[in-house]
Amino acid sequence: MKLPVCAIFLALLPGVSLAASTSGSVSVQQGNIVYVAPGGATEVLTETGVDDAPVLSPDGALVAFTRLTRDVDEAHDSPAVRDLWVIRLNDHRATRVVIGKPEGTEKPEQVLADADSPRFSPDSSIVYFLTAASTASAAVHSVRAIGGGQRFVTLGNAFAVVQQGKYKGALLVEQHRDMNDQMPWDPEVLVSSTGTKIKVVGEDANALQKIEAERK
């Protein structure tokens, strides 16, 4: 999904990232999560200096974000380790729903290093996120917003959750393909919430908008 030019500019500023909805918005200020209510009131939710990638749930009740626990290990070519947290806005109760682990010798679908890009399901009950599965591809995992039930969904280097339309609740995932002697291909692939392929959409910057416009 393309962001407005002003949002892209702000997201590129050091220490600042944005995620917004009609229920308010969340941002990062020097590694701390900040919530801005629809009326403009601002509240700092965390003060660790190592938090990132916040996203507000569709129902406006929760914020998911990542917390750095170990930086990139360049000497061993190992990615950063981040935990995944969810905080309730009504009482500020924060729950660590995924504990990040250093990359080891496990299968790509079991890697929980470098958790990033959390996104909520339309009903706000599930959080999807990326992990550094392998050198060839990242992976999409999911976990319940209240914690528990963490599982691998599919390989992919980026994704979006379909929030409306015929495929509401499905995921649109960018997946890498090696096409023999041809140039690599990175099509958008529509998969179910459990990772079952629905259809290959292809390379299309407006794929999410088109998918959400489809009706039954």
Whichever domain contains 61, its CATH number is: 2.120.10.30
Q: What is the pLDDT of residue 72?
A: 63
Contact 96, 46 (CB under 8 A): no
Residue 211: give the domain boundaries: 158-216
Q: What is the pLDDT of residue 92?
A: 94
Same domain, 180 and 142: no
Same domain, 55 and 94: yes
Same domain, 169 and 70: no
Total structural domains in the chain?
2
Same domain, 15 and 107: yes
Q: What is the pLDDT of residue 216?
A: 78
Contact 171, 161 (CB under 8 A): yes
Long-range contacts, stretch 26-30, CB < 8 angstroms, 24+ apart: 26/54, 26/55, 26/56, 26/63, 26/65, 27/54, 28/52, 28/53, 28/54
Tell which of 155, 170, 192 closes a domain: 155
pTM (2 d.p.): 0.85
Same domain, 168 and 149: no
Same domain, 62 and 149: yes
Q: What is the pLDDT of residue 198?
A: 98
Same domain, 59 and 149: yes
Give the residues of the chain that fall short of pLDDT 50.
Answer: 1-18, 20, 76-77
Same domain, 94 and 12: yes
Same domain, 26 and 107: yes
Contact 81, 100 (CB under 8 A): yes
Q: What is the pLDDT of residue 71?
A: 74
Tell which of 123, 155, 187 closes a domain: 155
Tell me which DSSP letter residue 3 carries: P
Token pair of 116, please? 């990033």
Q: What is the pLDDT of residue 13?
A: 40
Tell which of 155, 178, 195 closes a domain: 155
